[in-house]
Structure 1
Amino acid sequence: MAVGRTPMQPGLLSSTAGFCEGRLAPNSIYAVLHRECRALFPDEMFADLFAEDGRRSVPPMIVAVVMVLQRLEGLSDREAVERFAFDVRWKYAAGGLDFDHPGFVHTVLVDMRARLAASGRPGRIFERTVEVAAQAGLVGRRRVLDSAPIYDAVATQDTITLVRSAIRNLLRAADHVLRAQLRAVLLSQDTYTSTAKPAIDWTDAAEREALIDTRARDGYALLTVLDGRVLGQEADQAARLLATVLGQDLEQDEDVFKIARKVARDRVISTVDPEARHGHKTVNRAFDGYKGHVAEDPDSEIVTATAVTAGNVGDAEPAAELLADVLHPAAPAAPAAPAEQAEQAEQAEVYGDAAYGTGPLLAELAQADVKVMVKVQAANAPGGRFSKDAFAISLEAGQVTCPNRVTVAIRPHHDGGGQARFGAACAACPLSAQCTTARDGRVISIGPHEEHLAQGRARSADPVWLAAYRATRPKVERKIAHLMRRRHGGRRARVRGRAKVGADFSLLAAAANIARLGVLGIMSTASGNWTIAAG
């Protein structure tokens, strides 16, 4: 299929432009796309996704506009193509197309997403919005980080459903010869063709335990058959998933398989979406699915980077990826103008809540000479006893002094940290009741990034620092609210798998960026650059 071309000359009397102009606000997303869609998403931008000859595709610029509006309004594929066919604003946004411009089927959107995913630049639509904002001088050296839960698009499964579903997936993935061999070793009477739970008396503990034991034995019997075999990709993935499900939830007690009385750290919660995980946004707020992470320029409120991780991944883990442009700025291709040189010389700043106040991230920011505006959780101790901050830690001297002025050496660990053990000194200490109840005395653990954490705790208690933090940090929360305001496609994922959820999330951020650029008055120039309209 060859790349299609967007019509450049809409009909004089049939164009949607004359109808919409004056009826839509000039800073609305429809108006900004109408004015700038050909410069934002030219057909040539997607030429590498198509062959040089063949049947012409729907013009990629039109598809890109539809994808952006679809994500902004939280529509399904079918709803989006229907909106394009009958909502005059969508045709106006796609360059002022004619009222009778033909629509297209929803599979065009499916095909475009697949082509983008298989390309070398799957996030090009989002990247284009950041590029335009940067050319217009809207992307500076300050960043604010935050994350939000994205609920998965599948139901969380219990143990017996997980095991049966994993076995069913393996039988489905095997070829007919291997499938016959696998079915021959099944010990239960379960055919594994139905998704319904087996018909037993679920109030009878003995029947439940027998069900779990027999299905676990079926699973292990299948894995025994596959041991040492070279499998195709689909069958291999299904076998690995079965092994994971059996190992995470079950334990053997007196030759009987039972549900383990613990929760595996990285537990698979669904065989339909094996990458989704249990997550916690706060101690009391749990969710199942993924986390969407953003970096935002707080001055222009443009999202500069996005990432999606499993729900159980810490907020700080993808931070370096989100901050790549400030941690490792690209060298300019040509000598910069004086204003650009001044901007490049400006020290970068990174804001984040206490979830980002981890030693490795603080150390990386300090190494890159970034001004750290990241909160660090205050040290605490159980029962209101002396926290670590009550001890004078001297990393240069390699020693720690307690509130009773007893000094001990830090015993180094191989990871760069260490421990300071006060031992017998605590037995005769008059402050011991305020310090520890341990029989062997107080132990102060020193992390490999203790210096950065101590500096962060001191900063977080400074009123001047806190005032600057509170004036800037909440801006990203408003942006998260913009991204998550729709339940379907915002707070809840529309697709399955981390890669697809990540692509969908970046497209949502692209739509939010274009809406913001419209408010800021973005406009292209005759020279092909971008600027902000005066006034």
Structure 2
Amino acid sequence: METLEGAMAMHPSLIDPVPEETARVARAAFRKGTLLMRVRDEIGVLYEDAMFADLYHARGQWAIAPWRLALVTLFQFLENLSDRQAAEAVRSRIDWKYALGLELTDPGFDFSVLCEFRARLLAGGQDQCLLEILLERLGAHGLIKSRGKQRTDSTHVLAAIRTLNRLEFVGETLRAALHALAQAALAWLVQHGRSDWAERYGARVEQYRLPKSLAARQALAEAIGTDGHDLLVALLNEREGFWPDRPLAVERLRLVWIQQFYHDGDSVRWREPADQPPVSGRLHSPYDPEARYAKKRNIGWIGYKVHLTETCDADRPHLITDVQTTAAGLADVAMTATVHSALASRGLLPAIHAVDSGYVNADLLVASRVSYALELLGPALPDSSRQAQAGQGFDLSAFTIDWSERIARCPAGQISQSWKEERDERGVAVVRIGFSQKSCNSCPSRVLCSPFKPGCRANPRRLTILEQPAHEALQARRREQNGELWKTHYACRAGIEGTLSQGIRSFGLRRCRYLGQAKTHLQHVCTAAAMNLVRVDAWLRGQPRARTRQSQVVALLAAA
């Protein structure tokens, strides 16, 4: 298969209309049309060769038209097909030939071309282009409202790897490293390898082949650890410079051995679980080192996380405008500013951005309004103080802050004694306010404020608050989010879970097709573009949106 450095060239040409014979047969076979035929008729050709000119050489062998490969890639994710199935659909499906403008006798192309096209998109930094170009075309048709409403949510994505126990994992990691060395430096491996390695690591490590007793497993683990250590030592002692050009599988072997083993004199020992790095920082597969473990509530997984942002205006189709693929353990709040920046770069910023509490903090409430002139509509996390959690006593909202005088006044009228501006352990700018011991001891309301034991002096009350803009924005959101007016305003967020469900159930959003975060992100972008095509088609045909499902019990009780 031709590589990115090969001599494949692109020669842009005008896109001809659908061949007459193809159109006649397609309309006879599909009198009501199909989604792909309606896309060609209603929206037109979505892509042009010039859009992908930077991905190809100016001279060399002619390439298959990139605009067709882009459409095939989109249709492939639209129907959740493999590369082989998509190439077969180009050869055999009449509606595909219609949408691609091909003659009925066109033989198609080899399925490997699709893999190469995706590699070119990634290498050229155009992994977002299939979605961005589609959004430009749909915006030109008036299907995206300027400064409307949008909403964002995330879900977990399972990596395309097997779940391995520790013994399987280290054995498979060493096997992958030996396999890579056999391809890169077979003569070196023959010289430095051992005769028993072929038997022990020749086949994939499987659970049923491993010893059953704990002692035998421990012995095998340390034997594998010794083998891997000896291999790494031999590579480090290589005098001809082989080690600096080591295969990636060898580097992963080194990292895994640091995480899983340690030296005890001249022996290599198996680390106890408590002596390992945090699970979120460990490697879990020798084939996808970027896949990480994370847990959210009662769901634990190894893989990634995807964030989808979609429009939610009642008078337009709901279209996905941004896709972000992140490490599994990255908090949602870390992606809010990234989503805003991505939408701003495409000219798709909304006026209202509805999110759940995971995407909201005080700084973002301020920054969203100041930097992007949008309202970040989402509930703020409640006050975590003892008084607020108990529902009695003086919580933070009961204190009056005088920013100009740099003092705080408690509900009993006492005035703070100290005011110190600094940064907390996370680097966030905060103000620490303290009241005096004397005023707190004599205060009749001290039982509602500071914990104390009868007969003992009360501890003086101390407050830690954010800087003025963030503090005021946070307190204002906490007050308003309990009102019915705000809840009605926030109702526009409802439905984003349905989008995630559609992506998971109909488009395979939750399972990675490929290894690595970059390829997985490209999968998510193509999936989002395919979902947009389905939604635009439903909108143009006047198909009503699906309503939230109710169980029979709920429906019967509501009717009663």
2:270 matched residue in structure 1: 257
Quote the Cα distance in structure 1 between the aligned partners of 2:437 and 2:193.
65
Local SS of the residue matching 1:413: strand
Change (3 A) 1:486 1:350: same
Match of 2:82 in 1: 76
Name the CA shift for 1:33/1:485 in 2 (closer, same or farther; >3 Å): farther
Residue 153 of structure 1 aligns with an amino acid whose one-letter code is: A
Quote the residue 1:337 is aligned against. none
Tell me the alpha carbon deviations over residues 276-314 of structure 1, each in whole angstroms, 9 at most, x when there is no partner.
11233x412222211111222222312111111111111
Percent identical pairs in the alignment equals: 24
**Residue 509 (1) aligns with residue 528 (2):** yes
Kept after mapping to 1: 8 A contact 2:396/2:463: no
SS of equivalent to 1:143: strand
**1:375 aligned to which of 375, 379, 389:** 379
Which is further off, 405-414 or 495-504?
405-414
SS of equivalent to 2:246: helix
Question: Is the deviation greater in 252-261 or in 148-157?
Answer: 252-261
User: How do 1:70-469 and structure 2 match up within 5 A?
Assistant: 70-95=76-101, 97-137=102-142, 138-141=144-147, 142-174=149-181, 175-176=185-186, 179=189, 183=193, 191-196=200-205, 201-204=211-214, 206-226=215-235, 235=246, 237-249=248-260, 256-261=269-274, 263-280=278-295, 282-299=296-313, 300=316, 301-324=318-341, 327=344, 348-368=351-371, 369-381=373-385, 384-385=389-390, 388-392=395-399, 394=401, 396=403, 398=406, 407=416, 409-414=418-423, 415=427, 416-420=429-433, 432=447, 444-447=463-466, 449-469=470-490
> Which structure 1 segments of 5+ residues have no match?
331-342, 523-535
Residue identity in the other structure for 2:511: R
Q: From the superposition, tell whether residues 197 and 61 of structure 1 become closer, same or farther in structure 2 (CA, over 3 Å).
A: closer
Instruction: Please report how far the alpha carbon of residue 456 of structure 1 lies from its aligned counterpart in structure 2 after TM superposition.
Output: 3.2
Deviations 1:316-337 (A, max 9, x none): 223323222555676xxxxxxx
Q: C-alpha distance in 2, partners of 1:156/1:103?
A: 38
> Is structure 2 residue 35 aligned with structure 1 residue 18?
no
TM-score normalised by length of structure 1: 0.79
Q: Distance in 2 between matches of 1:85 and 1:374?
A: 49
Q: Are residues 7 and 353 of structure 1, via their aligned partners in 2, closer, same or farther at CA, if it must alter by over 3 Å?
A: same
Query: Residue 537 of structure 2 is aligned with which of 513, 518, 531?
Result: 518
Post-superposition offset of 1:31: 0.9
User: How big is the shift at 1:482?
Assistant: 2.6
CA spacing shift, 1:295–1:133, aligned 2, 3 Å: same
Q: Residues 2 and 56 of structure 1 are in contact (CA less than 8 Å); yes or no, is this contact kept in structure 2?
A: yes
Count of residue pairs the alignment pairs up: 499
Coordinate RMSD, CA, aligned: 3.9
Separation in structure 2 between the aligned mates of residue 417 and residue 21 of structure 1, nearest angstrom: 66
After superposition, the Cα gap between the structure-2 partners of 1:427 and 1:405, relative to the gap in structure 1 and judged at 3 Å, is same
Aligned-partner SS, 1:323: helix
AA aligned to 2:76 is Q
Deviation at 1:178, TM superposition (A): 5.3
Opposite residue 364 of structure 1, the aligned amino acid is A
Per the alignment, in what secondary structure is the counterpart of residue 312 of structure 1?
coil
State whether residues 171 and 182 of structure 1, in contact with CA within 8 Å, keep that contact through their aligned partners in structure 2: no
- Give 1:440 shift: 6.9
Q: Deviations over 1:257-293 (max 9, x none)?
A: 323226434222222211111233x412222211111
Q: Cα distance, 1:131 vs. partner?
A: 0.9
The residue identity in structure 2 corresponding to 1:321 is T
AA in 2 matched with 1:275: E
- Give 3-state SS (helix, strand or coil) of 2:205's partner: coil
| Cα distance between partner residues in 1 of 2:257 and 2:205 | 19
- Per-residue CA distance 1:391-414 (angstroms, 9 max, x = gap): 526372555556666545344334
Residues 76/42 of structure 1: CA separation in 2 closer, same or farther (3 Å cut): same
Match of 2:63 among 50, 57, 62: 57
Distance 1:317 1:21, change over 3 A: same
Partner SS, residue 202 of structure 2: coil
Q: Please give the secondary structure, in 2, of the residue aligned with 1:278.
A: strand
C-alpha distance in structure 1 between counterparts of 2:263 and 2:402, whole Å: 48
Change (3 A) 1:500 1:412: same
- 174-183 or 456-465, which deviates more: 174-183
Higher mean alpha-carbon deviation, 285-294 vs 381-390, is at 381-390
Distance of 1:182 and 1:452 partners within structure 2: 65
| Structure 2 CA distance for aligned equivalents of residues 236 and 294 of structure 1 | 35
Cα 1:510–1:14 shift into 2, 3 Å: closer
Deviation at 1:20, TM superposition (A): 4.9
Deviation at 1:115, TM superposition (A): 1.9
- Give the conservation status (yes or no) of the 8 Å contact 2:236–2:243: no
- Counterparts in 2 of 1:421 and 1:514: CA distance versus 1, 3 Å: same
Q: Which moved more, 1:144-153 or 1:210-219?
A: 210-219
Unmatched segments (≥5 aa) in structure 2: 1-7, 542-560
Q: Against the structure 1 CA distance between its residues 16 and 239, is the aligned structure 2 distance closer, same or farther, given a 3 Å change threshold?
A: same
CA spacing shift, 1:12–1:80, aligned 2, 3 Å: closer
Q: Encode CA deviations 1:111-139: one digit per residue, 9 max, x unaligned.
A: 21122222242322111111112323324
CA contact (8 A) 1:401 1:408 kept: no
